Amino acid sequence: MRLAVVVLLACAVLRAGSLAPEADRQLAHDIYKELIEIKTGYTTGATTPAAEAMAERLRNAGFPDADIFVGGAIPSKANLVVRYHGNGAEKPLLLLAHTDVVEAKPEDWSMDPFILHEQDGYFYGRGAFDDKAQAALWIANLIRLRQANFHPTRDIIVALTADEEGGGPYNGVAWLLKNRPELIQAGLCLNEGGWGELVNGKRLANDIEVAEKYVVNFRLEVHNKGGHSSLPVADNAIYHLAAALDRLAHFGFPLQTNDVTRAWLKQMEGIQTGAMRDSFAHAAGGSEAALEQIAAAAPMWNAMLRTTCVATQLEGGHARNALPQLAAAKVNCRILPEETIEHVQQTLGKLFNDDQVAISVSGEASYGPASPLNPALLNVIHQVTDSIWPGMPVVPIMVPYATDGKYLRSAGIPTYGVQGLFVDQNDSRMHGRDERMPVQSFYEAETFLYDLVKKLSSQ
């Protein structure tokens, strides 16, 4: 009964007949199930069985061996790349998804995370949203295009890659760019990162990710000569560090906009209601006070409008009866694309105003420029969106985290997060327990991505 209501509500805003034929939906479902049930956990799993299973399906669907590549950094971390040939009128279209998932412990979940469950209108399973829905839809749709004997004006490449979660030495996109760049060279890439906003069952907007913030970790360190804890002095490593962190707790980087977030503010003005609508209208017009109101209203909005830095790890002291000789913290920063690491480091130094607190960059920074705000592409996305969900706004966004798009953008391949998967805005469960995807959203996205790929390769 509940399922029937959910489906009825969903159908009310969906153009009639926009789901794929039943056999195609079944194929997408079966691929999705197969991918979720292959354990590809970032640290404990392997992506190779997933790559091989998809290669097998493609061969069975008539793709020649010469167009299918399986390989990667180490034997357990293979990627799959398949090419569907077009007439070469345009540079190839690359369709990317990652097959690795964040770890999921069965004891933390309400069900086995590595079995696809369908319940109350949702598909449950690790990767149901991030990123096996899109991976399954790319493969199912490519098989469908071939069955329809579609003649694209450009090669369509699907790449299902390893180790997006946490990056690291076996990252599939980085490996392909370094070792087999000719396999994924493209004029345009569609990837994860954009999705549809669903609030209380209502579809609000189809978000398109155009830019990403980049990630830098700083290490704060205070060294001190220490001593016996029975003879304390004011100059204490833990107190220096604590004072610096307390300043960080009360600090906000300046609010800033760029091309992408200005376009986002304008679109949001049309979607919001009441006082928030006025704030978006004024912010789009440049009002600082309105930007403050928006940033204060939601952590996600705050993250889109400023660089953020937050303390995430602590260490210090060596004995309970000794004055500490070391106190240290990790500070995780998500930096706007137009800001530099040096500027953020200097800002933190001025904020702490304590030369005992040393600040250094820890690990590598993941930097990738924004993709151009391509009006022709946005127009096509808008047309396809409108044909499935009439009147639905398409909203360009910048996301506060990094995806594999950063490697491709750095390599000169404009990359956009486009999924058309509508998920609960306030309950995304990505990386969390009982990860899920609305059943209706999965099948709607199948149609959306099929139509979009077709349109982008028949101009």
Is residue 131 near Zn ion by the rule CB under 5 A? yes
Segment near Zn ion (CB under 5 A); pick from 128-136, 249-257, 258-266, 293-301 = 128-136
Is residue 209 near Zn ion by the rule CB under 5 A? no
Is residue 163 near Zn ion by the rule CB under 5 A? no
Write down the least CB distance from residue 206 to Zn ion, Å.
Answer: 18
Interactions with Zn ion, residue window 302-341 (CB under 5 A): none
Q: x/- site string to Zn ion, residues 403 to 442, per CB under 5 A?
A: ----------------------------------------
Is residue 130 near Zn ion by the rule CB under 5 A? yes
Nearer to Zn ion, 197 or 404 (CB): 404
Residues 17, 28: Cα–Cα separation, whole Å: 17
Segment near Zn ion (CB under 5 A); pick from 129-137, 151-159, 301-309, 341-349 = 129-137
In sequence order, the β-bridge partners of residue 89 are none
Segment near Zn ion (CB under 5 A); pick from 67-75, 188-196, 332-340, 390-398 = 188-196
Write down the least CB distance from residue 98 to Zn ion, Å.
Answer: 6
Write down the least CB distance from residue 67 to Zn ion, Å.
Answer: 26
Instruction: Show the tokens assigned to 357.
Output: 């607190």
Residue 193 near residue 119 (C-beta atoms within 8 A)? no
Write down the least CB distance from residue 137 to Zn ion, Å.
Answer: 14
Neighbours of 40 (CB within 10 A): 28
Q: Is the dihedral of CA 263, 266, 267, 268 positive or negative?
A: positive
Segment near Zn ion (CB under 5 A); pick from 111-119, 125-133, 136-144, 237-245 = 125-133
Write down the least CB distance from residue 39 to Zn ion, Å.
Answer: 17
Residue 400 near residue 303 (C-beta atoms within 8 A)? yes
Long-range Cβ contact pairs of 434-437 (< 8 A, separation 24 or more): 434/109, 434/110, 434/111, 434/124, 435/104, 435/113, 435/124, 435/125, 435/126, 435/127, 435/128, 435/129, 435/130, 436/122, 436/123, 436/124, 436/125, 436/128, 436/129, 437/122, 437/123, 437/128, 437/129, 437/133
Is residue 100 near Zn ion by the rule CB under 5 A? no
Q: Which residues contact 270 (CB under 8 A, 6 or more apart)?
A: 393
Q: Per this entry, what is the length of the chain?
A: 459
Write down the least CB distance from residue 11 to Zn ion, Å.
Answer: 29
- Residue 157 DSSP SS3: strand
Write down the least CB distance from residue 91 to Zn ion, Å.
Answer: 25
Nearer to Zn ion, 130 or 163 (CB): 130
Phi first, then psi: give them for residue 276, nearest 5 degrees.
-65, -35
Footprint of Zn ion (CB under 5 A): 130-131, 192
